[in-house]
Amino acid sequence: CGVFGIFGHPEAANLTYLGLYALQHRGQESCGIVSSDGIQLKAHLGMGLVADVFKHDDIFTKLPGSSAIGHVRYSTAGGNDMKNCQPIMVDYSRGSIAVAHNGNLVNAPEVRSALEKSGSIFSTTADTETIVHLIARAKSESLVERVCESLQQVKGAYSLAFLTETRLIAVRDPSGFRPLSLAKLDGAFVVASESCAFDLIEAEYIREIEPGEMIVIDKKGMKSYFPFKEKVRNTPCIFEYIYFARPDSRIFNRMVYPVRKEFGRQLARKYPVDADLVIAVPDSGMPAAMGFAEEAGLPFELGLIRNHYVGRTFIEPQQSIRHFGVKLKLNPVREILEGKRVVVVDDSIVRGTTSRKIVKMIRNAGAKEVHVRISSPPTSYPCFYGIDTPSRKELISASHSIDEIARYITADTLCYLDIAGLHAALRQFGDHKVDFCDACFSGEYPIRFPRLTDTNQLG
């Protein structure tokens, strides 16, 4: 998911719309904006893309005020229907509060059933709703303390933007799984999951919000708190660098593009191959493919052309649609591929279905050999921290060796960048101290997941 917030700008809702537009790649299922005019909160939410949900200009006249938060969603917890759209807004004894969440709370089911036993009535199935119920019931006097008190009770990954009538609060969980940054625009404060949202509205990037940091913005200005007493390791999500974030974004204090390219370089160094050219699976494989080609001294070509008017195939629910989706989305360039030994670089293999189609497509276009290079390790474990990887039985690497996968996708050779290679690439950028989460590759989960003990969940 993607989160955006702005405080102190006359065009708050409009700018939030633009911010969400830039964050659309983080979720295409639903989106929403909540604004405040200082007295009350107003919301507009809907299923679908930002451009569709906010199609009519008059929507913005119904979102008045100088502060707003917004959200783009794909479902990690909770189903994908209208009632799970965010921001989630509630009225309680002291006013209203809205929240936009990127991440996943690993203990939400426990917290939720405890709240329900003592009378809370939930209106969504999303983990995020537990946070607002905890805030509504918190004992502390001030809002800041109530938010802290509530967040002490949840575990997992959260980058959050809260909006009340008079305040914007942004928080990152103590492990710092998901990104969240701060910027300024004409004296207004802006927060967003990725800096590409700042670029679009011409806000000036200030800094990353720190893991465990809570930023409170009101008319008087901005204050920073570190309310979490418990010290935990800083484990930002390495997969944001591999696939999820946009390459033109700065996250975790680093530009994504050069990191992604370095993954490709490492891959070429470890798994060179005699070939004529390198191509990428667009768009996600592009930077790594360029790094691979540079390092290998091979020409880089656009051997697959993407139709940009089709959504991410991965998001579509049915297997049958996904199979067709690859053709909808990609077309091989025969003139480039015919008679050639081709290296094709992609960021990851999840189910293997896309990769299989792509290899076939490249062969049908006349390629003599197809060598697949993946700029991340085999995805063998599901993510419990906010990336929607399918269950373990759908992950091809959970049950198949690399050789078996190579045969399944009909590649001449298949090589993955290993975990050491990923970390080596990041060390090139000075990240010696950061202990990135790589659980979907290593199975080493930095925060124990209560249901992990239940082997069904992993099996």
By the rule CB under 6 A, 439 interacts with ligand SF4: yes
Binding mask 254-293 for Mg ion (x = CB under 5 A): ------------------------------x---------
- CB of 190 vs Mg ion, minimal distance in Å: 29
Task: Please say which residue, 358 or 447, places its beta carbon nearer to Mg ion.
Answer: 358
Query: How far is Cα 373 from Cα 414, in angstroms, rounded to an integer?
Result: 6
> How many Cα atoms are found within 13 Å in the side-chain-facing hemisphere of 84?
17
Query: How far is Cα 1 from Cα 69, in angstroms, rounded to an integer?
Result: 13
b/e sequence 366-390, b meaning 16+ C-beta within 10 Å: ebebbbbbbbbbbbbbbbbbbbbbe
- Alpha-carbon distances, residue 240 vs 26, 250, 259, 409, 417 (angstroms): 10, 11, 11, 25, 16
Name residue, tokens 């609060």: 169
Query: How far is Cα 263 from Cα 419, in angstroms, rounded to an integer?
Result: 11
Task: Please say which residue, 95 or 390, places its beta carbon nearer to ligand 5GP.
Answer: 390
- CB of 389 vs ligand SF4, minimal distance in Å: 7
Residue 443 φ/ψ region, left for φ over 0, alpha for ψ in the -120 to 50 degree band, beta for the rest: left
Report the Cα 405 to chain-centroid distance in Å: 26
Whether residue 85 is annotated as binding a ligand: the answer is no
Beta strand spans in 226-321 (E): 250-251, 254-255, 277-280, 304-306
Whether residue 442 is annotated as binding a ligand: the answer is no
Whether residue 284 is annotated as binding a ligand: the answer is yes
By the rule CB under 6 A, 395 interacts with ligand SF4: no
Whether residue 196 is annotated as binding a ligand: the answer is no
Task: Please say which residue, 67 or 175, places its beta carbon nearer to ligand SF4.
Answer: 175
By the rule CB under 6 A, 158 interacts with ligand SF4: no
Active site residue 85: no
Whether residue 415 is annotated as binding a ligand: the answer is no
Please list every residue from 208 through 267 that binds ligand SF4, using CB under 6 A. 237-239
Task: Please say which residue, 86 or 284, places its beta carbon nearer to Mg ion.
Answer: 284
Q: Which residues here bind ligand SF4, judged by CB under 6 A?
A: 177, 237-239, 383, 385, 387, 437-440
- Residues designated catalytic: 1
- Give the annotated binding-site residues: 237, 284, 346-347, 383, 437, 440
- Give the annotated binding-site residues for Mg(2+): 284, 346-347
- Give the annotated binding-site residues for [4Fe-4S] cluster: 237, 383, 437, 440
